[in-house]
Structure 1
C-alpha cells in the first residue's frame, strides 16, 4: 500500500483549520472573510499558487494606464516570503492584511522591505530611485523632470531621513522619516 502523497507536502488548494486560526490571529479578518478570500483566490489560482506572471496581470487590471511589470518585481519578492517563486494563500492574506489594515509601523516596515530589494538591511539612492521609477510606471506618470526625477526624489528623501549621514536608510530611519514627513509618507507609502 504505497502512499501517493508525501506527508510533508501540503496541498495548497486546501485551507486547513490551523491556517484559518493563524490568519485570524494575524489579520483583522473573520473566519468567514478568510474562507471567502480563499474561494476567490482559488478561482484566480486553481492550483493554490499565484505566479509572478499572474501577479502582474492582476496589477495591470488595477492600473490599466500604467506599466506594472517593474513595480510587481519588487512587490512580488516582498510577498513571496519563502522565496519559492509563487505566493500561496497564507502569504497572500498576510500581504493583503498588512497593506489594507496593518498599523502604520507594520505597513512602513513592509514598504521598506520592498525598497530593500537587495536585502542588505538598508536602502540606498539607487534602490529607492528604481522603485520610485517603477511606481511612476505603475500609475502612468510620465513627467519625471526637475523635482519629479526619481533619482532627485530619492536623494531628497534620503537627505531628509538619514540620521546617521551614511547616505543610506535603515528600516528605523525609513519608518521614522515617513512618520514625521507626510509628503514623504504619501509618496513612498500612498495608502498609509
Structure 2
C-alpha cells in the first residue's frame, strides 16, 4: 500500500537480505541460524519488538528468587541502541552475541556500557553502587552488611582499579581490572 516502496522499518517482522548480511557479518551466525533466532523472537514478540515489561518477564524466569526490575532497566537501556523504548530483532541478536559469544574484552565492554548509566565513558562510585545493588536484587541477595554494602564495595573496587586517580573507571580500567582480579570479575560481571 502506501509503504510498499519505502525503506524497511526497524519494527518490521520480516528480515531483508541486507539485514541478514549485516547480522551474518556481525554475529558469526549462518543465515539459517539467524532465521531460526528470528522465528523464536517473533514467537515471543509477534510485533517484532521486545518491550521492557516483556524483557523483565524473561529475566524473572531465570532469576525467580530475585527482583529483576532494577537490573533489567540497566540492561534494557544498554540493548535498546536506538532508544526507541523497545528492542528489535537486530538489537536483540547483536546484544545476545556480544554478551554470550564475544571475546572476554567485548563481553566486559558490554558490562561496562551497562554500568555507565550517565553515558560519559566513565563509571563513578554512585553508578557502580547502583548496579551492584541491582545485581544483588536480581539474585535475591539481601545481605548488604559490612564489606557487602554496595557503596562500600563500589568505593573499594574503584580504589583498586582506578589507575588515573580521578575516582572513576574508564572502560580500559574496568576491563583490565575484571580480567586481572577474578573476585572483582565475579562481582561486576558474574556471567562473563
Relative to the length of structure 1, the TM-score reads 0.95
Q: CA deviation at 1:4?
A: 4.5
Which residues in structure 2 correspond to 1:32-71 (within 5 Å)? 32-71=32-71
Q: CA deviation at 1:77?
A: 0.5
Relative to the length of structure 2, the TM-score reads 0.95
Q: Which residue of 2 aligns with 1:83?
A: 83
Partner SS, residue 130 of structure 1: helix
Q: CA deviation at 1:52?
A: 0.7
Alignment of 1:141 with 2:141, yes or no, is yes
For the 8 Å contact 1:28–1:101, the answer to whether it is kept is: no
Q: CA deviation at 1:6?
A: 6.7
In the TM superposition, what whole-angstrom CA distance separates every residue of 1:83-129 from its partner, at most 9, and x where no partner exists? 11100000000110011110011111111100001111110001000
Q: Distance in 1 between matches of 2:41 and 2:178?
A: 32
Which residues in structure 2 correspond to 1:1-192 (within 5 Å)? 3-4=2-3, 7-10=6-9, 12-192=12-192
Q: Distance in 2 between matches of 1:21 and 1:157?
A: 41
Q: CA deviation at 1:28?
A: 2.9
Q: Distance in 1 between matches of 2:2 and 2:136?
A: 51
Partner SS, residue 156 of structure 1: helix
Q: Distance in 1 between matches of 2:2 and 2:164?
A: 58
Q: Distance in 2 between matches of 1:105 and 1:80?
A: 21
Q: Which runs of at least 4 in structure 1 moved beyond 4 Å after TM superposition?
A: none
Q: Distance in 2 between matches of 1:31 and 1:93?
A: 13
Q: Distance in 2 between matches of 1:191 and 1:176?
A: 17
Q: Distance in 1 between matches of 2:5 and 2:160?
A: 53
Q: Alignment length, in residue pairs?
A: 191
Partner SS, residue 173 of structure 2: helix
Q: Distance in 2 between matches of 1:4 and 1:111?
A: 38
Aligned-residue RMSD, C-alpha: 1.3
